[in-house]
Amino acid sequence: MDSAIEAVAEALAGATSVVVLTGAGISAESGLRTFRETMEGLWKDFDPMTLATPEAWEADPEKVSRWYDWRRLGCLAADPNPGHVALAQMESRLNARGGRFTLLTQNVDRLHHKAGSRNIVELHGSIIQWRCTVCGAKTTPGPESLPKFPPPATCCAASHRGLLRPDVVWFGEMLPEEALAAASEAVATCDLFLSIGTSSIVQPAASYILWAARRGAETVEINTEPTPISDTVDWSIMGKSGEALPNLVRAAFAG
């Protein structure tokens, strides 16, 4: 067994309050491209960073809503992988012994929900849910492609001619108040923080592990490549989360 996995398993076995931050990497083994990988197909010439902004929406709501609907259908068709399932098991085992577990995710694919995780904080919203640009009414479109782009709002006051936009946080937009509050409270009280499958670039999510470390929490990173935090964490586990997490949960909660 990898010595880092053994050490982290020991820390996990003794932890009372655990925070996990996930990024697009944890969904890679479910077949979803990570946020910064090159896009494919008709989107291969686009940079996600230039589409995931309010300015892109204002400039071309048809293009942006088509991109998001294409990604939404991919997320709906995807299944959780062993990494997602292991985190749901970690939460159950910690809760069963009176411990706390908070899952902060940057992902908008809702695969953690499908895997059975419960205490999930969606820092960047969800692509599965869309909302009216005028009144904010939320709706969850079905498994087929949206019929029209940009999609007209379907809420009761549709006479105000709102459009439906994905209920995600774009670059330049504030994170949801309740998500920020939940994340801050969890980071302020955790004794172990694991960062999994994220390039640790996007703020404020990338700062949470640093705040936890400053408070004395032990810190872990699981990633397939080094990131800006790899040299600062207590344990850096290089590997696929779909393999490392099941091994970690087995070692920490054996029996």
Residue 121 CA: distances (Å) to CA of 58, 164, 205, 250: 28, 23, 11, 25
**Site map (CB under 6 A) of ligand BV8, residues 69-98, x = contact:** ------------------------------
CB of residue 59 vs ligand BV8: minimum separation in angstroms?
16
> In degrees rounded to 5, what are phi and psi of residue 62?
-65, -50
Q: Which stretch binds ligand BV8 (CB under 6 A): 88-96, 110-118, 130-138, 196-204?
A: 196-204
Task: Provide long-range contacts, Cβ within 8 A and 24+ apart, for 172-178.
Answer: 172/53, 172/54, 172/55, 173/54, 175/123, 175/124, 175/204, 176/122, 176/125
Kindly state the DSSP code that residue 240 receives in the 8-state scheme.
-
Pick the closest to residue 217 from 205, 204, 234 (CA basis). Answer: 234
Q: Which residue is nearest to ligand BV8 (CB)?
A: 25
The token pair that represents 94 in the structure block: 């910690």
When asked if residue 197 is in the footprint of ligand BV8 (CB under 6 A), the reply is: yes
When asked if residue 27 is in the footprint of ligand BV8 (CB under 6 A), the reply is: no
CB of residue 226 vs ligand BV8: minimum separation in angstroms?
9
When asked if residue 236 is in the footprint of ligand BV8 (CB under 6 A), the reply is: no
CB of residue 98 vs ligand BV8: minimum separation in angstroms?
30
Pick the closest to residue 3 from 246, 254, 235, 250 (CA basis). Answer: 235
Side-chain-side CA neighbours of 44 within 13 Å: the count stands at 3
When asked if residue 124 is in the footprint of ligand BV8 (CB under 6 A), the reply is: yes
Strand 100-105 vs strand 120-122: parallel, antiparallel, or unpaired? parallel
When asked if residue 168 is in the footprint of ligand BV8 (CB under 6 A), the reply is: yes
CB of residue 118 vs ligand BV8: minimum separation in angstroms?
20
**Site map (CB under 6 A) of ligand BV8, residues 213-232, x = contact:** ---------xxxx-x-----
Pick the closest to residue 245 from 17, 95, 28, 16 (CA basis). Answer: 28
**Given the complex with ligand BV8, which of 29 and 60 has the nearer CB atom?**
29
Q: Which residues bind ligand BV8 (CB under 6 A)?
A: 23-25, 28-29, 34-36, 52, 106-108, 124, 168-175, 197-199, 201-204, 222-225, 227, 240-242
